[in-house]
Structures are given as structure tokens and as C-alpha cells.
Copies of this chain bind each other. A is one copy, B any other.
Amino acid sequence: MKLNNTSQYAIRILAYIADHKEKTLFSATELSNELSIPYKFLTKIMTELVKADFIESIRGREGGFKLKKDASEIKVDDILNIFNDSIKDEECILGIGFCNGMCKCALHDQWMEPKLLMQRMFRESSLRDIAGKGCKI
């Protein structure tokens, strides 16, 4: 019962960048070192964040990465969505075909409340909310 590694890394990367408002550009090397994320894996994730338009990249010498949107406009759930890791409404905790009013799984009712809480947490927490709130590694 966990987020996948890629999602975890992506959230930590973006939160780190959002946290350091004094800096304008972050290199992959810095992010990799500061956040203890394997360099090559990090650059792979950065490319996806660029494609998803959350991050702008400056190529070439003295280049780097920076946020493309305001930190308050990026929700944790938006990040999870890039990696297909957010909690879908129709998702069933026991993995049965259709889990809803007509045919629900054995844990459907108990799962409802924690599921909604988690969805709210992801949908309402922006990078601004979580930046600087925690340790890096």
C-alpha cells in the first residue's frame, strides 16, 4: 500500500524546488545530491515533468530546471496523475470489476472514508502548502 517510487521522487523534487524561492535554476546534479535520488533516474523523471509542463528546462551550460507554474497551482494529485498513481474514484481496494452501488466489494463501505480523505489530501495539497515542511531525505 504505497505510492510508486517515481511519484515519491517527483513530489520531493518539486517540493524542493518550490521551497528554494531564492534560487532560480536547479541542476540535475544538485537535485540528485540534495535529494539522494540516482542521477540518471532523476533526469528521466525531470524529462517527464518538463513534458507535463510543470517544469521548464534551460539546456546547455549554466542551464537547469525551474518551476513553470506557481507553486500554489500545482497540486500533489496533479503530480500523481502524470505517473498514473492517483486514487481513481472507481478504483476498488479489492480489485473487483465494478465496485459501486450495484455490485460492491466486501470492503467497499469501510474503504469509502479513508479513500475520500486521501483523495482530498492529494487534491488540496499544493506545492506551496508542502514546500519547506519536511526533511529532504
Residues in B whose Cβ lies below 8 Å from that of A85: 1
Interface string of A28-68 (1 = CB under 8 A from B): 00000000000000000000000000000000000000000
Bound Cα distance A62, B53 (Å): 61
List the B residue with the shortest CB-CB distance to A124: B110
Residues in B whose Cβ lies below 8 Å from that of A103: 134-135
Q: Known: A106-B12, A117-B113. Is A2-B134 also a contact (CB below 8 A)?
A: no
Asked if B94 and A11 make an inter-chain contact with CB atoms under 8 angstroms apart, the answer reads yes
**Does A87 belong to the interface (CB within 8 Å)?**
yes
Interface string of A108-137 (1 = CB under 8 A from B): 111101100110010001000011111111
Asked if A134 and B111 make an inter-chain contact with CB atoms under 8 angstroms apart, the answer reads no
CB within 8 Å of B: which A78-104 residues: 80, 85-87, 91, 93-97, 99, 103-104
List the B residue with the shortest CB-CB distance to A132: B106
Bound Cα distance A110, B119 (Å): 11
List the B residue with the shortest CB-CB distance to A104: B134
**Does A72 belong to the interface (CB within 8 Å)?**
no
User: Which A residues have a C-beta under 8 Å from some C-beta of B?
Assistant: 1-3, 5, 8, 11-12, 15, 76, 80, 85-87, 91, 93-97, 99, 103-111, 113-114, 117-118, 121, 125, 130-137
